[in-house]
Amino acid sequence: MSKFVRISLAVVLGWSLCALAQTTPAQTTPAAATTPNAPSAASAMPAATGTKVGTINIEQAIFASNEGRRDFEALNKKLEPRQMALKNANDEIEGLRTQLKNTGDKLNDDAKSNLVKEIETKQKSFERDRQDAVDDAQGQQGEIAQRILKKMAPVIVKYASENGFGVIIDTSQPWPQGPVVWYGQAVDITEPVVLAYNQVSGVPAPTGGGAATKPAGSIKPAAPATSKPATTKAPASTPPKQ
């Protein structure tokens, strides 16, 4: 998953869990009844009284849930035509670069210059289209993740409260990017939270049976064309981590 999506998840998770965990029942908080936009489920959220420290991989929980698997698979299919168009454009640029490499020394200056300019023009257009595709894919991934997380947050709080947890730490990012150096699987609540959320959401498991794959965000562009094609090499194409 992209850094943008991780930041979005952290913001939404922090807001959702803090709002729910710190809300006491409506009977003991009269002001809550006069707040028009107060979460309707907040009064049902128990106060944190446990002492255990637990972990959850929020990113994994979202993608492993039936709803996440369904919605990200749908997004994958939606983005396929755009990804194919990017691949075709990249293949065209690679073909022109190969042509320049193999025949550049046989072309006159004008022909060689025109070929280099054509490669540069197509590459700039490709890079703009690629960045637009990346931004759009990340935005749609973020929207799906945030929507699911907002509904999953009460499930996390409920499960943690009922099982004696006082603190839940997200392990989506490995150390040192994330705060957790090491943890044992015995304190990880990702799987039971996913099972509980699947029951709450009512979304059936996708018929494919496999885990959701994150939408491909981009195709790496070929390296810029130069007047020394023999020394130029395009980087390997690697899809980004969704």
What are the tens digits of pLDDT across the range 175-186? 898 888 998 899
236, part of any domain: no
124, part of any domain: yes
Least confident of 138-142, 157-161, 166-170, 231-235: 231-235
Q: Which domain holds residue 184?
A: 3-231
237, part of any domain: no
Which residue did the predictor score with more confidence, 207 or 168? 168
pTM: 0.68
76, part of any domain: yes
Banded model confidence at residue 18, pLDDT cuts 50, 70, 90 = low
Banded model confidence at residue 51, pLDDT cuts 50, 70, 90 = confident
DSSP per position, the chain: --HHHHHHHHHHHHHHHHHHHTPPPGGG-HHHHT-TTS-TTGGGPPP----EEEEE-HHHHHHHSHHHHHHHHHHHHHHHHHHHHHHHHHHHHHHHHHHHHHHGGGS-HHHHHHHHHHHHHHHHHHHHHHHHHHHHHHHHHHHHHHHHHHHHHHHHHHHHHHTTEEEEEE-SS-TTTSS-S---GGGB-HHHHHHHHHHHH-PPPPTT-SPPPPPP---PPPPPP-S-GGG--PPPP-PPP-
151, part of any domain: yes
Number of domains in the chain: 1
41, part of any domain: yes
Banded model confidence at residue 86, pLDDT cuts 50, 70, 90 = very high
238, part of any domain: no
Residue 88 has pLDDT above 90, yes or no: yes
